Amino acid sequence: MSLPWLTLLIVVPLVGAVAAALVPRLAPASGDAAAQRSKQIGLGASLLTLVLGVAVAAQYEVSGGMQLAETHSWIGALGVHYALGVDGLGLLLVLLTVVLVPIVLLASWHDVEEEPGATGQRTAGFVAWALALEGLALAVFLATDVFLFYVVFEATLIPAYFLIGAYGRGDRGFAALKFLMYQLGGGLVLLGGVIGLYVVSAQAGTPSYLISDLQRLDLGQDAERWLFVAFFVAFAVKAPLFPLHTWLADTTERATPGTSVLLVCVLDKIGTFGMLRFCLGLFPEASQWATPVVVTIALVSIVYGALLAIGQDDVLRLIGLTSLSHFGFITLGIFAFSSQGGSGSILYMVNHGIGTAALFLVAGYLIRRRGTTRISEMGGMEAATPVLAGMLLIAGLATLSLPGLSPFVSEMLVIIAAFDQHWWVGAVAVSGIVLAAIYVLWAYQRMMTGPPPEDAGSTGSARTLDLGARELAAIVPLVVLLIGLGLYPRPLFEASNPYVADLMTHVGVQDDAPAVTQPAAEPAAAPEEQ
Amino acid sequence: MEPAAFVKPTIEYAQLWPVFLVFGVACVGVLLEAFLPRGRRAVPQLALAVAGLVAALIGTVVVASRSGVLPGGQARGRITAEGSIAVDGPTLFFWGLILVFALGGALLFAERRLDGGVSAFSGQAAALPGSDAERRTQHLEQTEVFPLLMFAVGGMLLFPASNDLLMMFVALEVLSLPLYLLCGLARRRRLLSQEAAMKYFLLGAFSSAFFLYGVALVYGFSGTMTFAGIDQAVRNDAGNRVLLLLGIGLLSVGLLFKVGAVPFQSWTPDVYQGAPTAVTAFMSAGTKIAAFGAILRLYYVAFGADPSMWQPMLWIVAIASMVVGAVLAVVQTDVKRMLAYSSIAHTGFLLTGVLGAQSLTDLAPGQVTSVQAVLFYLATYGCAMLGAFALVSLVRDASGEASSTARWVGLGRRSPLVAGVFAFFLLSMAGIPLTAGFVGKWAVFTVALSAGAWPVVVVAIGSSIVAVFFYVRQIRLMFFTEPVGEVATVTRPSALTSATIAVGLAGTVVLGLVPGPVLDLAAHAGQFIR
């Protein structure tokens, strides 16, 4: 035990954020040069964070449990600790975050446009807010104290708010406000739950917010159920689930694609992360009590999100709504109360993060080239930009869970768990796959095939050229991950299985972990329950 | 009948000297007004006021360090001045807060750079607006404001310390009368300012009369003015209960008027808007702190034996204040009025803490008590309000301060620092984590929930969501909205205002990140003594 690795992991991006924000002020240069410099600082800081994340993963022992723990008293009077730790669930989401942020920065390199005569502050702001979001999101995934979790959970909203409000298109101020109101509303409900936990814990003896202390408490049935509801509502806004999802499409439509990646692929994972960590972790009995309602909400989200996605003409809205469907799947897996469901949902979080990020970024490339977000106004780009089209196809196929790509593994596990629960739950869930095929392939068809647009190729303008090196450098790692983890998902299982095994013991379910020795195409061969 | 022999009262100067010092400085200030030529008064008056406040602050610390713990270990301090003033832990905490915010107020009063070299106060208060007399006196300096401030501070120090009903009434008047005057002294917008003073005076006089009637009725019930005697009478249930209940109700009218609780809130927006902004800043923080001190002492000490007499009333008042304050703030188009309505909502949150009173036997050791929560909340609230109003005084257009929200549009682009700090104060008032307001909100909600007042907490969370809306809307307006028409700009203040803002900002940051020491100090203050 030497370095506080987890603290470093949180601090590095935050320091990078401050540095990137101050560069245009401290070292006056022309707007472009200052902007360039803050982008380089941002990329450097995020790459350093990636290295730290990998270092943490290298030290992580696959046996499970909370590792690299750091615990210091923070506010003694309230029983609040600055407590960090990483387990399988946290590790995977940390890795997802540290991988996605440099990719987003790289992909958004030219997305922030400076006003004429500006000093590069707008660019610096984007980089700084993105890094701040990364640092706070990492803190969320590493916190092992409920109060600390709540603090950083809410604090992530500030960078997110400015990212949406300052850098999107259209009426982004409205979108940012709607986003924030939903999130803070959920957050305040969660505050009620956090306060309730303190009261229960204080009455049981010494107040403490450590998860490990809270898990030992006997909450009593009524208190546990009320607390569960408070936590679940907040996470259902975050994730989001029907009917609390209406902020999602409005936000992704107006935010830049890079911001959307940070929001949907990183920040929204906090919702499903929280369901596992807190709803199941602290209130196992209440979670089982609420399962019928939660499963219904999840199924409605799957189908309703997919149907809405089919009807969209705005590609960014479409991608946002597909995520509603995906979060339905993740929630379904979590509340299946089986090892397949648990592991499936954790893998789903990772795979959805990678696949949807790829989709958002490729869509962003396309929008830059066509100057529109309307699917009906695109079309015919396949011939002019074959690489772009190929990337879009791979990302799209990942979203519909094509076998061989990593989302397939997790989706199958969730669906198996759903069938184990009830045949009709599985049946409804499967319909989500069919609908996914429709929205992905139909959108691809309208965006890429058909007669080429009149300006494509003929003018040879930069707008219609195929992907450049920087854009490829951002998107290729995601595609490699999608294919690689599709063929060899074992590392994911090694991280998630011990965590899920512990969780299942905690909630009182006994079954076997999904087998991981088989390559991707065979997870269906995982042992049946019982 | 032979008149009773006069017995000289004992005055414990060792405990009370900070208060006497403040009153003494106020009297010396009046003498300075009489003997110094008009042009040379400003600097000595400011120096005297600051020196007096600093000395009183040091005195408070000295008295606190010497106050011994009473038997039982829950309280410290002693009853002084023949039982009419209690210098105990909470009193000393209130003194510290009031003196710190009064220092900020004194610095704001002395600001002369903002309005082109003259202070914000009218040259001659008696001059009719628009008359020749006003034009002739335009360039004159008004320095009576400093003695007035000191008298008000003296009253504020006495108010939470008063241990019998007469002393409480005297303190109420001593703190109110100078404030009525100060409100009418604005140099710009004289009519608005005079209207505010008139309204405040009339309604204040009314509420004082109610208070006095309440004093009479409670005396009729208990036959004594001291809180200890009233407490005994309540415990023995000796006397006419109708008198007691009516008395409590009428006393509450007087006190709830001072804190601006619904239904006695109607003066707040008009006075906050019309008064010179420096006065508003001082008054919003100081009056509320002093009056909550008095409320706590009256309810806990005099009527603490049977909380059921006043708790239901506070439930209704707290709920009404939170809802009315938050909802009406949404429709405001003036920044000062918006802050005024938000202060009404904050009164509701504070009352939520007050009604969370529980006997110590019901609390776990180390659990947050309601006195502790309210003390902490007042500290956070004072920092944010003082700082926010100080910032309002910087935003000006050709006609002086521009408090209309329409003029604030786009301020974040023109002056990112001022707008950023203002946004931070708003976030603290909204209770976003990592700011002081969050910990304060957490504390008062916790004690209310712990005392079983969950319906109040539910309403509090609901109105917090509404409150977040108008705070965030203001932030959106400053940062993301395109300015149309005439807009305000930021005037560079002198070090006086800057220092006040810096102290408010530092308090808001530190109390948000490391609330432990102040929470412990509030816990150390212990309970009220009888």
Q: Provide the β-strand partners of residue B78.
A: B87
Q: Detail the DSSP E strand segments found in B320-402.
A: 395-397, 400-401
> Among all residues of chain A, which has the CA nearest to that of B482?
A173
The two structure tokens encoding residue B434: 């990592």
- CB-CB under 8 Å, A158 with B427: yes
* pLDDT tens, residue by residue, A292-321: 999 999 999 999 999 999 988 899 999 999
Task: Indicate the pLDDT class of residue B452, thresholds 50, 70 and 90.
Answer: confident
The angle formed by the CA atoms of residues A326, A46 and A367, to the nearest 5 degrees, is 55
Whether A202 and B458 lie within 8 Å, measured CB to CB? no
pLDDT > 90? residue A51: yes
Cross-chain Cβ contact A191/B445 below 8 Å: yes
Q: Beta B395-397 vs B85-88: how paired, if at all?
A: unpaired
Q: Which among B191, B178, B206, B231 has a CA at the least distance from the CA of B26?
A: B178
Q: Which two tokens stand for residue A219?
A: 């909450």
pLDDT digits (tens, 9 = 90+) for B477-494: 888 888 877 788 888 888
Tokens standing for residue A497:
């299985």
User: What is the residue extent of each domain of chain A?
Assistant: 290-453+466-509
pLDDT at residue B81 is higher than 80: no
Q: What does the block give as tokens for B321?
A: 């204040």
CB distance A202–B363 less than 8 Å? yes
Residues A55/A56/A61/A64 CA torsion (nearest 10 deg): -160
List, for residues B244-303, the tens digit of each pLDDT value.
Answer: 999 999 999 999 999 999 899 999 999 999 999 999 999 999 999 999 999 999 999 999
Q: Which residue of A has its CA nearest to B455?
A: A192
Q: Tell me the pLDDT of chain A averaged across its residues.
A: 85
More confident residue, B118 or B310: B310
Q: Does residue B26 surpass a pLDDT of 50?
A: yes
- The Cα B420–Cα A76 span in angstroms is 31
What's the pLDDT at B421?
A: 94
Calculate how close chain B gets to A371, using CA atoms only, in Å.
Answer: 23
> Do B364 and A206 count as a contact with CB atoms less than 8 A apart?
yes
Q: Which amino acid is at A147?
A: F
Find the residue in A nearest to B461 (Cα): A188
Tell me how far apart the alpha carbons of residues A25 and A404 are, in angstroms, rounded to a whole number. 49
Q: How confident is the model at residue A52 (pLDDT cuts 50, 70, 90)?
A: very high
Q: Give the containing element (helix H, strand E) for A147.
A: helix A146-155
ipTM: 0.86
Half-sphere exposure of A286 (CA within 13 A, CB side): 23
Q: pLDDT band at residue A525, thresholds of 50, 70 and 90? A: very low
Among the partner-chain residues B367, B434, B514, the one whose CB lies closest to the CB of A151 is B434
How far apart CA A202 and CA B449 sit, in angstroms, is 12
Closest CA to B168 of B307, B298, B80, B303: B298
Q: What is the pLDDT of residues B124-183, one digit of tens each?
A: 777 787 788 888 877 777 888 999 999 999 999 999 999 999 999 999 999 999 999 999
The whole-angstrom separation of Cα A173 and Cα A150 is 25
Q: Do A181 and B427 touch (CB under 8 A)?
A: no
Chain length of chain B:
530
* Interval B311-338 mean pLDDT: 93
Q: What type of residue sits at position B520?
A: D
Using CA coordinates, name the residue in chain A closest to B434: A151
By a Cβ cutoff of 8 Å, what residues of chain A touch chain B? 74-79, 150-155, 157-158, 161-162, 165-166, 172-173, 176-177, 180-181, 184-185, 188-189, 191-192, 194-196, 198-199, 202-207
Residue A5 scores a pLDDT above 80? yes
Interface test with A, best of B369, B446, B477 (most A CBs within 10 A): B446
Say whether B468 and A180 touch across the interface (CB within 8 A). yes
Which whole number is the average pLDDT over B33-49?
A: 89
- Nearest chain B CA: its distance from A151 CA (Å): 5
Q: What is the mean pLDDT of residues A496-506?
A: 88
For residues A148 and A82, give the distance between their C-alpha atoms in angstroms, rounded to a whole number. Answer: 7
Is residue A253 predicted with pLDDT exceeding 90? no
State the Cα–Cα distance between residues B482 and B471, nearest whole angstrom.
18
Give A183-241 pLDDT, tens digit per residue: 989 999 999 999 999 888 888 877 888 888 888 888 888 888 999 999 999 999 988 89
The distance of Cα A267 from the centroid of its chain, to the nearest Å, equals 5
Size of interface A-B (CB pairs under 8 A): 104
Task: Give the closest of B434, B445, B523 to A155, CB-based.
Answer: B434
Res A1 pLDDT > 70: no
Partner residue opposite B446 with nearest CB, options A150, A162, A198? A198
Q: Is A207 in contact with A246 (CB distance < 8 Å)?
A: no
Mean pLDDT (chain B, rounded): 89
The DSSP string of B427-453 is HHHHT-TTSHHHHHHHHHHHHHHHTT-
CB spacing of A76 vs B516 below 8 angstroms: yes
In terms of residues, how long is chain A?
530
pLDDT tens per residue across span A119-173: 677 888 889 999 999 999 999 999 999 999 999 999 999 899 989 888 888 888 8
Residue A107: its pLDDT value, please? 87
Question: Does B64 score more than 50 pLDDT?
Answer: yes
For residue A24, pLDDT over 80 is answered with: no
CB A379 within 8 A of CB A500: no
Per-residue burial over A70-93, b if 16 or more Cβ lie within 10 Å, else e, is beeebbebbbbbbbbbbbbbbbbb
Confidence at residue A528, expressed as pLDDT on a 0 to 100 scale = 42
Chain B: residue nearest A76 by CA? B516
Name the percent of chain A lying above pLDDT 70: 92
Contact between A9 and A104 under an 8 Å Cβ cutoff? The reply is no
pLDDT digits (tens, 9 = 90+) for B399-430: 778 888 888 888 888 888 899 999 999 999 99
Q: Which chain B residue lies closest to A183 (C-alpha atoms)?
A: B465
> Which H helix or E strand runs over B85?
strand B85-88
Closest chain B C-alpha to A374 CA, distance in angstroms:
25
What is residue A523's predicted lDDT score, i.e. its pLDDT? Answer: 45
Burial code (b: 16+ CB inside 10 Å, e: under 16) for A21-35 equals bebbeeeeeebeebb
B326–chain A Cβ distance below 8 A for any pair: no
Helix, strand, coil content of chain A in percent (nearest 5): 75, 5, 25
**pLDDT at residue B116 above 80?**
no
pLDDT for the residue B133: 81
CB-CB under 8 Å, A181 with B472: yes
Q: How do the residues of chain B divide into helix, strand and coil, expressed in percent and rounded to 5?
A: 70, 5, 25
Interface with chain B: mutation pick from A191, A217, A231, highest number of B CBs within 10 Å: A191
| pLDDT score recorded for residue A522 | 43
How far is B48 from B32, CA to CA, in rounded Å?
10
**Pick from B269, B103, B127, B132: nearest CA to B187:** B127
d(CA B28, CA A269): 65
Give the nearest chain A residue to B428 (CA atoms): A155
Task: Name A73's bridge partners.
Answer: A81
* Predicted confidence (pLDDT) at residue A527 exceeds the cutoff of 50: no
pLDDT of residue A462: 45
User: B461 and A192: CB-CB below 8 Å?
Assistant: yes
Helix residue ranges, H only, B131-226: 132-136, 145-161, 165-183, 190-222
**Before A284, cis peptide (omega within 30)?**
no
A343-362 mean pLDDT: 92
